[in-house]
Amino acid sequence: MLSQRTIEVIKSTVPVLEIHGTAITTRFYNMLFTAHPELLDIFNHANQKQGKQQAALANAVYAAALHIDRLEMILPVVKQIAHKHRSLGVQAEHYPIVGQHLLAAIKDVLGDAASEEILQAWGEAYGVIADAFIGIEADMYEQAKTQAGGWAGFKPFRIIQKVKESDVITSFYMTPLDGGALAAFEPGQYISVNVHIPGEEHAQIRQYSLSDASDKPYYRISVKREDAIVDRPAGKVSVYLHEQKEVGDILSISAPAGDFTLDQRDSRPVVLISGGVGLTPMVSMLNTLAIAKPARQVTFIHAAHNGRLHALKQQVETVAQQNSNLSFHWCYEKPTEQDLTEPAFHKQGYIDLNWLQTVVPVKEASYYFCGPVPFMKAIHDALLEWGIPAEDLHYEFFGPAGSL
């Protein structure tokens, strides 16, 4: 337990963290990787270069300071991050290293404003928070290893099928190289793929949602190829998978993880809303519902640039043909002439509240959504404006957690 004085000191740093948090975390990562370059085998380099990881850590530190007297308030976030840590292979011995460099970064950025009392208080607080992570992650590692078909660390899987789903998304079907059983997973969970790209000094780990139900004899991920654009370099791993990995090749993956999962105990109608490659966890949820809860009313809504970039479309329509409780709706920003002739095409432009109110048959439902951050912000705000309770909104960020 933290002393009252420690809590007061941590609370007093909240305004400073609001202003200087990202500068502190940016400096932290610079110091950490200079002293321990081997940790670059764990971290997502693209998120580092784009500043996403620095911003996410700054938000986490700020939240910890804000709720230091009620740490149970941030427990859901701790569990969400712990899932990612377990999937990446973060170990207990990494925490003292992180703590050392985080305190050093606070001192380096804030200078004399970071008094000895402040650094001591943050050191004490970090120890409490780190112990919470270590304990939760130890349980997750044990569960991943001991569950039926489970394993520790990364395990080799063979690609048994590679299917182009759209102009930019390709699915990879994989089975264990040892021929063993597959660990079950919750619809919405992801796996980490660990690759060593020729010419790259460090391993590259990326997390991809499983895009099919858990009852299949394979794992499937559907990967969007991230080509270079004006303000973003090409995605090294996605391009590597698309161009270099073929049927028969081996990929090292971690056991399924993640807390963005379908609540299968809920019997209310469910609305699944996705944008772009954000449909991957939604298709997993859809396929699971079709098998396990065929009587549950499901509305599946997907937004894409146009039909050429719409992956897994035929699969969703096939499921709908087999289940009268499922309806689906497509929204294309810039539909092609062929799209305009499709009977399933419903809207041109963007998903907005007025349209949602016409296609969602029952307002009192559970809402799950995933896609690019601007898309999720728009959906989030629209649903709140409609009066949907916040506890009925469930969403997933691809990459470091952010805020809507």
Amino acid letter at 243? E
In tens, the pLDDT along 139-149 reads: 999 999 999 99
**Residue that wins the pLDDT comparison between 233 and 197:** 197
The pair of three-digit structure tokens given for residue 62, joined into one six-digit string: 């700020």
Q: What angle do CA 190, 259, 129 make, to 5 degrees?
A: 115
Q: How confident is the model at residue 399 (pLDDT cuts 50, 70, 90)?
A: low
What's residue 293's pLDDT?
Answer: 92
Q: Does position 400 have pLDDT exceeding 90, yes or no?
A: no
What's residue 344's pLDDT?
Answer: 67
Percent of the chain with pLDDT over 90: 79
Strand partners, 14: none
Q: How confident is the model at residue 76 (pLDDT cuts 50, 70, 90)?
A: confident
Q: What is the dihedral of CA 45, 132, 36, 121, to 10 degrees?
A: 110
Task: Mention every residue, 6+ apart, whose C-beta is less than 8 A from residue 201.
Answer: 40
The reply to whether 137 belongs to the active site is yes
The reply to whether 317 belongs to the active site is no
Tell me which residue of 3, 14, 210 sits closest to 121, measured CA to CA.
3
In tens, the pLDDT along 371-396 reads: 999 999 999 999 999 999 999 999 98
Angstrom distance (rounded) from CA 233 to CA 246: 24
Is 190 annotated to bind a ligand? Reply is yes
Is 196 annotated to bind a ligand? Reply is no
Residues 271-306 as b or e (16 or more Cβ within 10 Å = b): bbbbbbbbbbbbbbbbbbbbeebeebbbbbbbbbbb
Is 62 annotated to bind a ligand? Reply is no
Which domains are assigned to the chain? Answer: 4-146 (1.10.490.10), 154-254 (2.40.30.10), 270-396 (3.40.50.80)
In tens, the pLDDT along 63-74 reads: 888 899 888 888
Phi, psi dihedrals of residue 173, rounded to the nearest 5°? -100, 130
Output DSSP code: residue 232.
Answer: B
Catalytic member of 95, 173, 332, 368: 95
Is 400 annotated to bind a ligand? Reply is yes
- In this prediction, residues 339-360 reach a mean pLDDT of 88
What's residue 52's pLDDT?
Answer: 81
What's residue 32's pLDDT?
Answer: 94
Q: Does position 29 have pLDDT exceeding 90, yes or no?
A: yes
Is 89 annotated to bind a ligand? Reply is no
Is 173 annotated to bind a ligand? Reply is no
Tell me which residue of 368, 358, 296 sits closest to 331, measured CA to CA.
358
- In this prediction, residues 109-135 reach a mean pLDDT of 93
What's residue 401's pLDDT?
Answer: 62
Is 289 annotated to bind a ligand? Reply is no
Report yes or no: 325 and 358 within 8 Å, Cβ to Cβ: no
Q: Does position 295 have pLDDT exceeding 80, yes or no?
A: yes
What's residue 44's pLDDT?
Answer: 79
Strand partners, 252: 156, 194
Angstrom distance (rounded) from CA 233 to CA 191: 23
What's residue 378's pLDDT?
Answer: 95
Neighbours of 12 (CB within 10 A): 13
Catalytic member of 29, 137, 165, 240: 137
Give me the sign of the Cα torsion angle 147, 153, 157, 159.
Answer: positive
pTM score, whole prediction: 0.92
